[in-house]
Amino acid sequence: MDLSQRAGALERLGQLERVRTGRLDPLLVAVFAVAVSAAGASRPSLWFDEAATISAATRSVPELWRLLGNIDAVHGLYYLVMHGWFAVFPVTEFWTRFSSCLAVGFAAAGVVVLAKQFSTRSVAVCAGVMFAILPRITWAGIEGRSYALSASAAVWLTVLLVAALRRDRPALWPLYSLCLVLATLLNLFAVLMVLAHAVVVGVLSTTRATVRRWAVSASVAVLIVAPFLLFCQTQIAQVRWISPPSAGTLVDIALEQYFDHSVAFAVVAALTGALALRRRPFDTGNRHLAVIAVAWMVLPTMVLLGYSIVSEPIYYPRYLSYTAPAMALMLGVCIVAVGRERDRITAMVAVFAVAATPNYLFAQRGPYAKEGMDYSQVADVITAHTAPGDCLIMDNTTNWAPGPIRPLTAARPAAYEKLVDPGRGLRAAERNRLWDAHLGIWGVADQVRKCTELWTVSQRDSTVPERQSGEALDPGPRLRRAPAYQVPSRLGFHIVERWQFNFAQVTKSTR
């Protein structure tokens, strides 16, 4: 055996030893990540995007398929997954989000497994823990959307690629193509993982044949999803609310893309990275891992920014959640490089955890954490205080964003089933849209006349008390000018109770 063969054998032996050492690490880190995400998952109100998930995923598969022809094709596979989830679990705040908690755990395990392919157990476990507490991930872990699941798909797709490159077994390459297709169907922008994977191939490949196999596998996957990508382009009007890139976009990348506005966490991360660069050069494994992590973060971001500049704005920080595992890998490498010893590494991770805590507790897990929305609080009032046969009036003149008001009833549909809703038009599934149609109250006045107790959901009014009861309450300036109040008032209804939240107010009226 010559020196090169001996060196190769020793490297493979070292890789095998890294994998064998701490076999339970991925599982333990996964359990920790699930626990971190699940804590307080039921506290924030459901909001517009989660209402869309519930609306789409709770309809039949044929109805879902028809819906995707009109809107949200980019979320189609996720809606199908959640359709199966809701067949088992109830539509509540916790269970809607717990699927994302589990996805975070699966992704954290993947981060550990991936890091062990290149580096030490310390780096792998540290990266997995950092992934679990990364603000973007603790946000995604309680979001009833595909962000956490797409991050999991991206990291395990990369694990599969590393295995295919090192083992070069023929069966792994078609599996890689299939998984890349599925990841893209889960998150349209995950197709850009091909760019990061080109760097992985450049780092790990030893023969041209291996490079060709990857190139063919990746090309086949891209060709398969090309019609899907083109079809999604026809629905791009859904994201016309995204602003074009500006100087503020750089702040979004630095502060929001991975740190979800946690300034303290971002500062600690920047200082750790700066200190790591001042240390002696990384060894080969850590250097390779760092190069892959940087490519994983930078290349997809640059493509979305470039497209947003030359064509249409599509860059939005949360859309790149699938690159968050790369940030965790980079932080794991840097923390171990700076700390070196176990006690110091543990102390540094603790500093990151403390830095993340204010954002975690107050911004992400407050009652109105989801864009200020209060869908759940309204549903709680309706559930607790209404009786079967009571009437519901939705004030469609509210100007909160995202709107309109009808998605509020889609978030917790069971809360409204016992009520008579005169203003509810054609059902969402029947009209092939996410939301029910809304009928103007002037046209349904005869139905309102038959009601005895009326529950009106309108916009918050800061000029009247948040909680109030009485024989005939002042409607306040906001309700007074709304048809949702004017029509019932002319029919003899008067307000007897009021609840106000962050965006909404709920009033009970009798006559």
**How many CA atoms lie within 13 Å of 149's alpha carbon, on the beta-carbon side?**
22
Q: What is the dihedral of CA 344, 347, 353, 355, to 10 degrees?
A: -90
Burial class for 223, CB neighbours closer than 10 Å (0-12, 13-18, 19+) = exposed
**Of the listed ranges 18-27, 132-141, 198-207, 281-290, the one predicted with least confidence:** 18-27
Q: Is 498 helix (H, G, I), strand (E, B) or coil?
A: strand
Cα-trace Rg, the chain: 26
- Residue 269: pLDDT above 50? yes
pLDDT mean over 47-63: 97
Predicted pLDDT at 8:
52
Cα 330 to Cα 346: distance, rounded to the nearest angstrom: 16
**pLDDT tens digits along 159-208:** 999 999 999 888 999 999 999 999 999 999 999 999 999 999 999 988 89
C-beta pairs of 480-485 under 8 Å, 24+ apart in sequence: 482/395, 482/397, 482/458, 483/395, 483/397, 483/440, 483/441, 483/442, 484/393, 484/394, 484/395, 484/396, 484/397, 484/441, 484/456, 484/458, 485/395, 485/456, 485/458
- Residue 374, helix vs strand vs coil: coil
208, exposed or middle or buried, with CB in 10 Å at 0-12, 13-18, 19+?
A: exposed
pLDDT of residue 455: 98
Q: What is the pTM of this model?
A: 0.93
In whole angstroms, what is the distance from residue 17 CA to residue 125 CA? 15
Longest dimension (CA), the chain: 97
Percent of all residues in the chain with a pLDDT value above 90, rounded to a whole number: 90
Q: Give the residue-averaged pLDDT of 38-52.
A: 97
Q: Which H helix or E strand runs over 509? A: strand 504-510
* Pick from 302, 197, 308: nearest CA to 242: 308
Residue indicated by tokens 């794991």 = 332
Euclidean distance between CA atoms 419 and 2, whole angstroms: 81
Q: Which of 58, 140, 158, 154 is nearest to 98 (CA)?
A: 140
Q: Give the mean pLDDT of the chain.
A: 94
Q: Do residues 359 and 135 touch, judged by C-beta distance below 8 A?
A: yes
Which of 11-15, 150-154, 240-244 shows the lowest per-residue confidence on average (mean pLDDT)?
Answer: 11-15
Find out whether 390 and 68 touch, Cβ atoms under 8 Å. Answer: no
Going by pLDDT thresholds of 50, 70 and 90, the confidence category of residue 260 is very high
Q: Is the peptide bond before 404 cis (omega within 30 degrees of 0)?
A: yes
501 token code pair: 């939240």
**In this predicted model, what pLDDT tens digit does every residue of 439-450 receive, in sequence order?**
999 999 999 999
Given a contact cutoff of 8 angstroms between Cβ atoms, the answer to whether 80 and 61 are in contact is yes
Q: Does pLDDT of 350 surpass 60?
A: yes
* The pair of three-digit structure tokens given for residue 183, joined into one six-digit string: 């990841």
- pLDDT tens readout for residues 476-492: 999 999 999 999 999 99
Does residue 324 surpass a pLDDT of 70?
yes
Mean pLDDT of all residues in 230-257: 93
Sheet containing 453-459: give its strands across. Answer: 391-394, 453-459, 504-510, 494-500, 467-469
Whole-number pLDDT of residue 403: 83
Residue 401, pLDDT score: 86
What is residue 3's predicted lDDT score, i.e. its pLDDT?
Answer: 46
DSSP string of 234-289?
Answer: TTGGGGTTSPPP-HHHHHIIIIITTTTT-HHHHHHHHHHHHHHHHSSPP-HHHHHH
Q: Which residues contact 405 (CB under 8 A, 6 or more apart)?
A: 394, 395, 396, 398, 438, 457
> What pLDDT is recorded for position 328?
98
Tokens (6 digits) for 38: 């699940």
